[in-house]
A = this chain, B = another copy of it.
C-alpha cells in the first residue's frame, strides 16, 4: 500500500459566493490561507460542504487554478473530483493531478440508484485507467445519505487490491461508526478519515488517520487539540468539547449554518450566501444558532485574533 499523503484535520472548504452568486476566488484564497494558518493539515476543497456540485466543472477548475496561482501549497489540497460520468471525472482529476494536488476525493456516480458493486467498481476502475497517472492518489468518498450508492466493505477491498498505489484512503461520511470500525479492522494501513470529528478520537484509537469535517471550517484549533493529544489523559474531555460544538451547529442546516458562523465571526455578511437549492439561514435560525454557540463559549473570533497575534 502506498504511503499516506494526508493525515490530521482536513477541511472541506466552504465556497464563498458573491452577492450575485458567482464563486469568489479572492475570498476563497483568503479563507484557505486562514484555515492553514489555523492549523488545518489539508484542504478537501470541492466537497459536499463546498457546494461543489452547485458549480460546473469549469467553475471548479477555475477556482483551483486561482488557488494554485496564489501559492497555496498543492500538496495540501485534496479536491473533490466526483462526477456521474467517467469522462467528467477524468477531466477533473487530470486537472488536479496536473497541479500536483496531494490527492483527490472521489464520489461514486451519484445519479444512479440500485447499481451493483461490480458496476461501481467498473466506474472507478474506468476513471483510474483513463487517467493512467502514477501520481494519482485517490480517496473514496462514502456518503450514502447523499449518494445512496455505497462503497461497500467488499468493494473497497477490491479497489485496494486492484490499485494499491492509487486507492489510498476513504472518507466515511456514513455517520455510522460501525462501518468506520469495520473498514479500520479490514484494511490496516488504508487512510481512513471519519467524515465528522465526532468520531475523531474513536477513529484514532482504532487506526484512523484523522478526520475530514465540515465543522473544521469554524473549529480547526479545537479539533486539532484532539488530534495532538489523543494519547493523553485529556483526550476524552477535549473530544467532548468538539462533539458539543459540532452537535450545536448540526442542529441547523449544516452548510448555511457554517456560512452564517463565518459571516458572523469574520464580520463579512456576504459569506452567508449559498447557491440554490441550498437556502441562506434565516434570521430566525441565525439568532438561536449564535446564541447556542455563545452559551458553550464558542469564540472563533478570539481564536482567530490569537492566531493572528
Tell me the bound Cα distance from A128 to B252 in angstroms. Answer: 29
Residue pair A120, B277 in contact (C-beta under 8 Å):
yes
> Closest residue to A277 on the B side, CB-wise?
B119
Most buried by B among A85, A119, A146, A148: A85
Given A119-B278, A122-B277, verify A146-B54 contact (CB < 8 Å).
Answer: no
Residue pair A57, B113 in contact (C-beta under 8 Å):
no
Min Cβ gap A132→B in Å is 14
**Number of copies of this chain that the complex holds:** 2
Q: Is A231 an interface residue (CB 8 A)?
A: no
- Chain A: interface size category: 35 or more
Q: Mark A44-59, 1 if CB is under 8 A from B, else 0.
A: 0000000001111111
Residue pair A123, B277 in contact (C-beta under 8 Å):
yes
Q: Is A88 an interface residue (CB 8 A)?
A: yes
Q: Hey, which chain B residues are within 8 Å of A54, CB to CB?
A: 84-86, 109
**Residues on A close to B: CB < 8 A?**
21, 53-59, 83-88, 91, 108-113, 115-116, 118-120, 122-123, 125-126, 145-146, 148-149, 275-279
